[in-house]
Each structure stands twice: as structure tokens, then as C-alpha cells.
Amino acid sequence: MTSPIAASPEPAPVRLAVIGAGPVGLALALYAARLWPLAQVTVFDARPAEKDVSGDPRTLALSLGSVQLLQRLEVWPADDAQPILQVHVSQAPPTLTGVPLRPELTIRAADEGVPQLGAVLRYGQIVAPLQRAWEAECAAAPERCRFRLGSPVAAVKPLAGGVEIDAGIAEPFDLAVIAEGGVFADQAKKGLTHDYRQTAWVGTVTLSALPELGTAFERFTRHGPVALLPLKAGTADAPGERRAALVWCVPSDDDPVESLSDTQRRSVLATLLPQAAGTLREVGPLKRFPLGLNAERTLVSGRQVRIGNAAQTLHPVAGQGLNLGLRDAFVLVQSLREAGDLDAALRRVEWSRAPDRWSMIAATDFLARSFTWQWPGLAAVRGLGIGLLQALPPVKSALAKQMMFGRR
């Protein structure tokens, strides 16, 4: 008589703590709950439960890859988002004369065979549907999904084979993902940090309808980059007008914007923008933020993983901070789901994210630092480089793909 074959033990659930209920933290929680059956996910955030995030006006630029990830989660607010159909990059004078290359670069979605290069929307418009989706997951599977709003995490302590989260009471978890980062000025210094001594003035501007719908602009000036991100048309917009989110970077030691009146700011900004942007009609109230690089040298430390701004806070010159964080979240969940060993999966995340992460850190850091270099002819050389990209379609297309999907 043969003895029965013992059944394989069921895999143990993995207790996952996500610290931070911003776009990256909530996206990670949803990925894990839907794609990784072993995950038991708890999201912690200091934000009070009664606080409404839907009205947060901060502007976000998402790449096409990020749009597709959120579409996969069925949380993409298509009606609120303004698609980016083309990006216009240019160098303000002085530029090289007598060179048959204009210091301008235009990347079009149609040329890349995609419906859009990315999209622009408000912070509240992306966090609100993510939060609703997570609350629905918690209601449908309370044994697997928990939402701890109003629960600031005081400490994350390493344990043998896990971590302890102190958020009023101490709770053990197998893994903690830290996804709350904040802005550069409020952060503790990480392994790699540099104060660019630059300030970003941000707000909303109104333009004539000359720019093609869905055009984003980046203008390199002697003080720093100026970016315009197209906003979705609203019912209050006058005919013939378009609104855009403004990011205006200047030196913080000798800030040329701070002392100007609203009228003077509009006059100065109008001289900096390319002709293709149309006529600048109005500049709304501006807020300022110090800029710097603050990055961890590694994403993984024991059973703690940092993603998004908790891992790297970048200069906004490339608009890639949130996109990098969403790719961190997706790769992390994929690796955890596919690997039987948690620590092996975390090692895989570290090396698999390194090329995308460090190439973006290096590129934005180089561009940001270059605006502080007082080298004769530097602006002209930058303009020549922009013109060369426009003249080399395969190189321009490779750049477009990296901006849409990251380095693969």
C-alpha cells in the first residue's frame, strides 16, 4: 500500500507596509493588492482621514508610461487630463550664429507613433481616484487591505526577517516601502545631496491660443529653465486663451523674480518665452520652492525599500520625478510577485532599477548644475546640442522613448 503524498504547504502571506498615501504609495498598494495574492497591505499616512485631497492644485506631468500604468489600474482620470501631444525645447539667446541649426527641438507624438507623449493634471485629480480605488479594495477585502490615515509613522525599526512600524502602536511587517518624500527643503539629507541654490517659481499663466493644443514648452535661459505645461481647458477660460502651468527656475542667491510686481513678472517672462508659445496675457500668483538633489545611494536597506521622492528628489528640469517613482513601484511589485524569496526579490529590484534611476539622476543633475556654470559660450553650445538632436531623428526618437518609458 502506497502512502499518500503530502500536500505542499500553502505559501505564507507577506505583510507589506506602505508609508505614504501619495500617488506612488497608493499606486504601489493597488498593484500589490491586485497582482500579488500573497500580499497583505497596510497603507499609513499622517494626513487626516477627513482631509479632501481632490482640490490640491499642484501640477503634475506624467509620461506615457505612467499614464499606461494608471490605466492598467483603472484609475486614470482621462476627462481631467490634458494630453501632451508635442514638446518644444529651445535655447534663449545668445546662441551660435552662422550655423545652419536652429537651437530648437520638437518631439511630436505622431512622429513617435503614439497617441500622446504624456499628460498634465493636478495632484488632486490623480490622488483622489487612487484613494477611492484603495478604499474600495479595503472594503472588499478588509483581511488583506487596510488604510491607516491620520497615523504618522514615528519609526521603522529593523527586525530579524522584517521590520517594526511604530504608528502609535508597534506592529511587525515583513517589508516596509517608504513612499513619502516631500520637497527638497523639508527633507533630511540622504546619501547624495546637492543644493543647486536655485528657486522654482510655480503658478499658472494665460496665453493666446497661438500654441498648438497640447504643446509643452521648455526654454533654457541664462538663469535656468522655464517650462510651460498645457492645462485642460476650463469652462471659465475665455475664447482664444489657453492656460499653462509655469515652472520658472532662477538663482536663489540673486533672485531676479522676488522683488518684481505682477506686471513686471509678466513683462520679464514674456521676453524669455519662445515666439511659438504665443502672447503671454496674464501671470497668476506664484509660489517658490528651493531646488536640489537629494538621493539615496541604494533603494533597499534590509527589509526597507524607498521609492519615489523618498528615494530621490530631482530638479524639475526633466519633469521625471513622479514617473521614476511609479516605475519603481511597478518593478518592485512585479519582482516580489515572481520571486519565491523576498530578499532575493529585493536584490533584483536594486540592480534592475539602477540603470533607469541613475541615468535620470545624472542627466537632471548635469543640466541643473550647468545653469550655475559661468563659462563663456555655454548657452551657445547647449543650443547647438539641441539643434543637433533635431537634425538626428533616430537620436531624437531614442530620447523621446526614454522620456516616455524610462531606460529599459
pLDDT at 1 over 50: no
d(CA 184, CA 358): 18
* pLDDT band for position 44 (cuts 50, 70, 90): very high
What's the pLDDT score for residue 4?
A: 52
d(CA 261, CA 15): 54
pLDDT digits (tens, 9 = 90+) for 310-360: 999 998 877 788 999 999 999 999 999 988 789 999 999 999 999 999 999
Predicted TM-score (pTM) of this structure: 0.92
In whole angstroms, how far apart are CA 77 and each of 74, 163, 250, 328? 9, 35, 33, 21
- Per the CB < 8 A criterion, the answer to whether 407 and 355 are in contact is yes
* pLDDT band for position 290 (cuts 50, 70, 90): very high
What's the pLDDT score for residue 11?
A: 79
Residue 89: all three cell numbers together: 525645447
pLDDT digits (tens, 9 = 90+) for 122-145: 999 999 999 999 999 999 999 999
Task: For residue 310, give the DSSP letter.
Answer: G
pLDDT, greater one: 74 or 371: 74
pLDDT at 100 over 50: yes
Element of type H or E holding 290? strand 287-295
d(CA 66, CA 353): 16
Closest among 316, 319, 324 to 296, alpha carbons compared: 324
Q: Which of 235-239, 303-307, 328-332, 354-358 has the lowest mean pLDDT?
A: 235-239
d(CA 249, CA 223): 7
pLDDT digits (tens, 9 = 90+) for 110-121: 999 999 999 999
pLDDT digits (tens, 9 = 90+) for 51-87: 998 888 889 999 999 999 999 999 999 999 999 999 9
pLDDT at 163 over 70: yes
Which stretches within 40-153 are classed as H helix?
64-72, 109-112, 123-140
pLDDT digits (tens, 9 = 90+) for 15-39: 999 999 999 999 999 999 999 999 9
* pLDDT band for position 97 (cuts 50, 70, 90): low
User: 369-405: string of b/e by CB count within 10 Å (b at 16+)?
Assistant: ebbeeeeeeebbebbbebbebbeeeeebeeebbbbbb
Q: What is the mean pLDDT of the chain?
A: 91
What's the pLDDT score for residue 234?
A: 72
- Per the CB < 8 A criterion, the answer to whether 177 and 32 are in contact is no
What's the pLDDT score for residue 184?
A: 67
Domain 14-191+292-405 -> CATH class: alpha beta
Domain ranges of the chain: 14-191+292-405
